[in-house]
Amino acid sequence: MQRRSFMAVATSIVGTVLDVLFGRGSRRAHAQDHEMMGQGMGAMMSPGNMSGPMRTGMALFERHKLIQREVTDLPNGVRDVTTSDDPTTAALIKEHVVEMYRRLDENRPFPYPMSNSVPRMFAHPTRYRRQLTLLPNGVAVIETASDPEMVAVIKAHARELNRFAKEGMPAMMRNMM
Protein backbone atom coordinates (compact mmCIF):
# COMPACT_ATOMS: atom_id res chain seq x y z
CA MET A 1 0.00 0.00 0.00
CA GLN A 2 2.81 2.41 0.85
CA ARG A 3 4.41 1.82 -2.55
CA ARG A 4 1.10 2.48 -4.30
CA SER A 5 0.63 5.72 -2.34
CA PHE A 6 4.15 6.81 -3.18
CA MET A 7 3.58 6.07 -6.85
CA ALA A 8 0.40 8.17 -6.78
CA VAL A 9 2.33 11.09 -5.28
CA ALA A 10 5.26 10.62 -7.67
CA THR A 11 2.92 10.46 -10.67
CA SER A 12 1.20 13.60 -9.45
CA ILE A 13 4.55 15.37 -9.12
CA VAL A 14 5.62 14.50 -12.65
CA GLY A 15 2.21 15.47 -14.02
CA THR A 16 2.27 18.79 -12.19
CA VAL A 17 5.80 19.56 -13.36
CA LEU A 18 4.88 18.78 -16.96
CA ASP A 19 1.67 20.82 -16.66
CA VAL A 20 3.60 23.80 -15.34
CA LEU A 21 6.27 23.44 -18.02
CA PHE A 22 3.74 23.25 -20.81
CA GLY A 23 1.15 25.63 -19.36
CA ARG A 24 -1.56 23.00 -18.95
CA GLY A 25 -3.90 22.46 -16.03
CA SER A 26 -5.67 24.76 -13.64
CA ARG A 27 -4.29 26.76 -10.75
CA ARG A 28 -6.67 24.93 -8.44
CA ALA A 29 -5.32 21.53 -9.51
CA HIS A 30 -1.76 22.79 -9.01
CA ALA A 31 -2.65 24.12 -5.56
CA GLN A 32 -4.11 20.73 -4.59
CA ASP A 33 -1.02 18.92 -5.88
CA HIS A 34 1.25 21.31 -3.96
CA GLU A 35 -0.76 20.75 -0.79
CA MET A 36 -0.53 16.98 -1.19
CA MET A 37 3.19 17.03 -1.96
CA GLY A 38 4.06 19.14 1.05
CA GLN A 39 6.33 22.08 1.53
CA GLY A 40 9.46 20.41 0.08
CA MET A 41 7.82 19.78 -3.25
CA GLY A 42 6.32 23.25 -3.23
CA ALA A 43 9.81 24.68 -2.81
CA MET A 44 11.12 22.50 -5.63
CA MET A 45 8.41 23.81 -7.93
CA SER A 46 8.68 27.47 -6.91
CA PRO A 47 8.75 30.00 -9.76
CA GLY A 48 12.52 30.47 -9.35
CA ASN A 49 13.15 26.77 -9.79
CA MET A 50 10.56 26.19 -12.50
CA SER A 51 12.09 28.90 -14.66
CA GLY A 52 15.58 27.49 -14.15
CA PRO A 53 16.91 24.09 -13.10
CA MET A 54 13.58 22.22 -12.96
CA ARG A 55 12.53 23.46 -16.40
CA THR A 56 15.80 22.49 -18.04
CA GLY A 57 16.09 19.25 -16.06
CA MET A 58 12.61 18.09 -17.07
CA ALA A 59 13.26 19.05 -20.70
CA LEU A 60 16.46 16.97 -20.58
CA PHE A 61 14.53 13.98 -19.20
CA GLU A 62 12.20 14.24 -22.19
CA ARG A 63 15.19 14.41 -24.58
CA HIS A 64 17.31 11.75 -22.85
CA LYS A 65 17.65 9.64 -26.02
CA LEU A 66 19.42 12.57 -27.69
CA ILE A 67 22.10 12.80 -24.98
CA GLN A 68 25.52 11.12 -25.04
CA ARG A 69 27.67 10.82 -21.92
CA GLU A 70 31.25 9.72 -21.44
CA VAL A 71 32.50 9.41 -17.86
CA THR A 72 36.11 8.79 -16.94
CA ASP A 73 36.78 7.80 -13.34
CA LEU A 74 39.66 9.67 -11.77
CA PRO A 75 41.30 8.62 -8.48
CA ASN A 76 39.76 11.68 -6.81
CA GLY A 77 36.56 12.19 -8.87
CA VAL A 78 35.34 12.11 -12.47
CA ARG A 79 35.69 13.72 -15.85
CA ASP A 80 32.29 13.82 -17.47
CA VAL A 81 31.47 14.87 -21.04
CA THR A 82 27.76 15.32 -21.82
CA THR A 83 26.82 16.21 -25.39
CA SER A 84 24.08 16.08 -27.97
CA ASP A 85 24.06 16.30 -31.75
CA ASP A 86 20.71 18.09 -31.43
CA PRO A 87 21.39 21.85 -31.02
CA THR A 88 18.37 22.44 -28.75
CA THR A 89 19.35 19.59 -26.44
CA ALA A 90 22.99 20.75 -26.40
CA ALA A 91 21.83 24.24 -25.37
CA LEU A 92 19.67 22.75 -22.58
CA ILE A 93 22.63 20.71 -21.29
CA LYS A 94 24.78 23.85 -21.10
CA GLU A 95 22.03 25.93 -19.52
CA HIS A 96 21.26 23.31 -16.88
CA VAL A 97 24.86 22.69 -15.80
CA VAL A 98 25.71 26.41 -15.75
CA GLU A 99 22.61 27.12 -13.59
CA MET A 100 23.36 24.28 -11.17
CA TYR A 101 27.00 25.35 -10.79
CA ARG A 102 25.91 28.96 -10.26
CA ARG A 103 23.56 27.83 -7.49
CA LEU A 104 26.36 25.79 -5.90
CA ASP A 105 28.73 28.77 -6.03
CA GLU A 106 26.07 31.05 -4.51
CA ASN A 107 25.15 28.46 -1.84
CA ARG A 108 21.53 28.39 -3.06
CA PRO A 109 20.39 24.82 -2.39
CA PHE A 110 17.93 23.28 -4.76
CA PRO A 111 15.24 20.83 -3.60
CA TYR A 112 15.80 17.96 -6.03
CA PRO A 113 14.05 14.80 -4.76
CA MET A 114 14.70 12.86 -7.96
CA SER A 115 18.41 12.72 -7.15
CA ASN A 116 20.16 10.96 -4.30
CA SER A 117 23.47 12.76 -4.90
CA VAL A 118 22.49 16.38 -5.65
CA PRO A 119 21.28 17.18 -2.09
CA ARG A 120 24.61 15.93 -0.70
CA MET A 121 26.53 18.00 -3.26
CA PHE A 122 24.56 21.11 -2.30
CA ALA A 123 25.06 20.38 1.40
CA HIS A 124 28.85 20.48 0.90
CA PRO A 125 29.64 22.70 -2.12
CA THR A 126 33.05 23.74 -0.78
CA ARG A 127 34.23 20.16 -0.17
CA TYR A 128 34.80 19.50 -3.86
CA ARG A 129 36.13 21.32 -6.91
CA ARG A 130 34.24 21.86 -10.13
CA GLN A 131 35.70 22.75 -13.51
CA LEU A 132 33.27 23.41 -16.35
CA THR A 133 34.20 23.69 -20.02
CA LEU A 134 31.47 24.63 -22.48
CA LEU A 135 31.71 22.68 -25.73
CA PRO A 136 29.94 23.47 -29.02
CA ASN A 137 27.60 20.51 -28.39
CA GLY A 138 27.49 20.29 -24.58
CA VAL A 139 29.80 20.40 -21.57
CA ALA A 140 32.92 18.80 -20.13
CA VAL A 141 33.07 18.71 -16.35
CA ILE A 142 35.82 17.69 -13.97
CA GLU A 143 34.73 17.23 -10.36
CA THR A 144 37.30 16.25 -7.76
CA ALA A 145 37.72 16.16 -3.99
CA SER A 146 40.36 15.25 -1.45
CA ASP A 147 37.73 13.86 0.95
CA PRO A 148 36.94 10.18 0.10
CA GLU A 149 33.31 10.67 1.13
CA MET A 150 32.86 13.47 -1.41
CA VAL A 151 34.70 11.46 -4.08
CA ALA A 152 32.09 8.73 -3.54
CA VAL A 153 29.27 11.31 -3.88
CA ILE A 154 30.80 12.71 -7.08
CA LYS A 155 31.08 9.24 -8.61
CA ALA A 156 27.55 8.34 -7.51
CA HIS A 157 26.29 11.53 -9.19
CA ALA A 158 27.98 10.58 -12.47
CA ARG A 159 26.38 7.11 -12.35
CA GLU A 160 23.01 8.66 -11.55
CA LEU A 161 23.27 11.04 -14.52
CA ASN A 162 24.23 8.11 -16.76
CA ARG A 163 20.99 6.35 -15.73
CA PHE A 164 18.98 9.54 -16.31
CA ALA A 165 20.44 9.94 -19.82
CA LYS A 166 19.97 6.28 -20.67
CA GLU A 167 16.49 5.70 -19.22
CA GLY A 168 14.88 9.12 -18.77
CA MET A 169 11.85 9.43 -16.45
CA PRO A 170 11.81 5.79 -15.23
CA ALA A 171 15.29 6.28 -13.70
CA MET A 172 14.11 9.49 -12.03
CA MET A 173 11.01 7.80 -10.63
CA ARG A 174 13.11 4.92 -9.21
CA ASN A 175 15.36 7.43 -7.45
CA MET A 176 12.35 9.02 -5.77
CA MET A 177 11.24 5.69 -4.24
Strands (E), the chain: 68-74, 77-83, 129-135, 138-144
pLDDT per residue as tens digits for the range 5-43: 444 444 444 444 444 344 443 333 333 333 323 334 444
- Please say whether the dihedral angle defined by the alpha carbons of residues 92, 94, 99 and 101, taken in this order, is positive or negative: positive
What b/e string do you get for 102-115 counting C-beta neighbours within 10 Å, with b at 16 or more?
ebbeeeeebbbbbb
Question: Cα–Cα distance between 152 and 154 in angstroms, integer?
Answer: 5
Q: What is the pLDDT of residue 22?
A: 43
| Angle, helix 169-176 to helix 148-167, in steps of 10 degrees | 130
pLDDT of residue 167: 87
Question: DSSP labels for 92-133?
Answer: HHHHHHHHHHHHHHTT-----TT-SSHHHHHH-GGGSEEEEE
Backbone angles phi, psi at 71, to 5 degrees: -115, 130
pTM for the complete prediction?
A: 0.70
pLDDT per position as a tens digit, 78-120: 999 999 999 999 999 999 999 999 999 999 887 666 788 988 9
